[in-house]
Structure formats: structure tokens, C-alpha cells
């Protein structure tokens, strides 16, 4: 059985990230779905994975250690995205009376709050993130994003840690 090369894995994941960002912009601008603060953080995690994959594919290290570093970073970025998506899915599953208060707008928080306080506010409040505006096959967009972050984590870890050949 022929093993798929890590560079191909990283390029494929980068392509998927571009597709996901494209759909996010399509949903925002054509379907007129306004992204909540947690959606914006999930986009940031996708962009981190995209950047990592492009760097890994361009660098194409010749040794095992380089690929393991990329695989580990990919797992960490995917775990970050999965934790944000998981929080979002959890907020959507809460009964209406238990949903936390809404946060100020993201633009306001970017202008006024320090970064740490802004992230804390988004993660601990963001009641507007509990709204479900989009469903496909019974799952909301954050649920699908969570599934894809888990897939990305598995694929990136595999690509980084399964490196065997010196010619990739």
C-alpha cells in the first residue's frame, strides 16, 4: 500500500480551509448570516490551520522532526478550533433561560477592550451565539465546524507523525 505524502496532506487541508473560508464569506454576504463573535474566532482558527499547512507544504522538511512539529502544531490549532466550536455548540444546546447575556459587538470590543478581556468576554458571554440560523442534515454550522476541526486534528497529526520517507 502506497502512503500519501505529508506535503499532499497539508496541501489538501489548506485547500479545504480555503473552501471553508469561502463558504463562510458566502454565508455572510449572500445568505446574509451575520457571524457571531464565536464564529469569528472559529474563522481565526481555520486561518491558523491554513497558514500552518501552507508553511508546512512550502517548507517540506526532509527530516522526521520537522514533520512532527507541523503535525503537533496542527493538532494544537485544531484543538483550539474544536474547543471554540464545542463552546458554541454547548451554548446552542442550552435552554433559552440559561443562555448567558449577549456581549457587546465585536467591533466595540476590538476598539475598547484589551485582547485578553475581549476573548474572555466572548467566551463567557456571547448569548447571541446561541441562535441557530443555519442547519444542514440536522446540525448547525458550529456543529459541522466542530466535526471538521476533529477531522483536521486527526489528519494533521497523521500527516506529521506518519512521515517515513526522505523524499516527499
**pLDDT tens, position by position, 16-29:** 999 999 998 898 88
Is there a domain that residue 1 lies in? Answer: no
Contact criterion met (CB below 8 Å) for 156 and 71: yes
Domains in the chain, number:
1
Percent of the chain with pLDDT over 70: 72
Give the count of alpha carbons within 13 A of 47, CB side only: 8
Task: Give me the chain's average pLDDT, please.
Answer: 79
Residue 165 has pLDDT above 60, yes or no: no
Examine the pLDDT at 129 and tell me if it is beyond 70: no
Q: Give the DSSP H/E element, type plus range, for residue 140.
A: strand 139-140
Higher-scoring residue by pLDDT: 55, 138 = 55
Determine, yes or no, domain membership for 27. Answer: yes
Q: Is residue 168 part of a domain?
A: no
Tens digit of pLDDT for each residue in 37-71? 788 889 999 999 999 999 988 888 777 787 888 88
Q: Is the pLDDT of residue 109 over 80?
A: no
CATH code of the domain covering residue 29: 1.20.1550.10
Q: Is 2 among the domain residues?
A: no
Q: What is the mean pLDDT of residues 67-92?
A: 87
- Whether residue 167 is contained in a domain is answered as no
Select from 46, 111, 95 the least CA-distant residue to 74: 46
Q: What is the mean pLDDT of residues 120-142?
A: 69
Q: What is the mean pLDDT of residues 130-152?
A: 82
This prediction's pTM:
0.77
Q: What is the largest CA-CA distance in the chain?
A: 58
What is the structure's pLDDT at 78?
A: 94
Per the structure, the complete domain to which residue 123 belongs is given by 7-161
Q: Exposure of 65 by Cβ count < 10 A (0-12 exposed, 13-18 middle, 19+ buried)?
A: exposed
Q: Predicted confidence band at 130 (pLDDT cuts at 50, 70, 90)? A: low
Determine, yes or no, domain membership for 121.
yes
- Tell me if 119 is assigned to some domain: yes
- Per the domain annotation, does 137 fall within a domain? yes
User: Does 116 have pLDDT greater than 80?
Assistant: no
Amino acid at each position: 500500500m502506497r502512503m500519501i505524502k505529508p506535503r499532499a496532506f497539508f496541501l489538501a487541508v489548506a485547500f479545504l480551509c480555503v473552501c471553508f473560508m469561502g463558504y463562510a464569506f458566502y454565508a455572510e454576504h449572500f445568505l446574509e448570516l451575520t457571524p457571531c463573535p464565536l464564529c469569528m474566532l472559529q474563522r481565526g482558527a481555520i486561518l491558523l490551520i491554513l497558514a500552518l499547512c501552507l508553511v508546512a507544504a512550502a517548507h517540506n522538511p526532509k527530516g522526521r522532526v520537522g514533520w512532527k512539529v507541523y503535525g503537533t502544531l496542527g493538532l494544537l490549532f485544531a484543538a483550539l478550533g474544536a474547543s471554540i466550536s464545542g463552546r458554541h455548540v454547548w451554548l446552542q444546546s442550552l435552554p433559552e433561560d440559561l443562555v448567558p447575556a449577549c456581549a457587546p459587538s465585536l467591533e466595540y470590543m476590538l476598539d475598547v477592550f484589551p485582547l485578553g478581556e475581549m476573548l474572555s468576554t466572548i467566551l463567557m458571554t456571547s448569548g447571541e451565539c446561541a441562535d441557530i440560523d443555519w442547519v444542514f442534515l440536522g446540525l448547525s454550522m458550529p456543529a459541522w465546524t466542530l466535526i471538521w476541526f476533529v477531522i483536521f486534528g486527526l489528519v494533521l497529526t497523521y500527516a506529521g507523525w506518519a512521515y517515513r520517507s526522505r523524499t516527499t
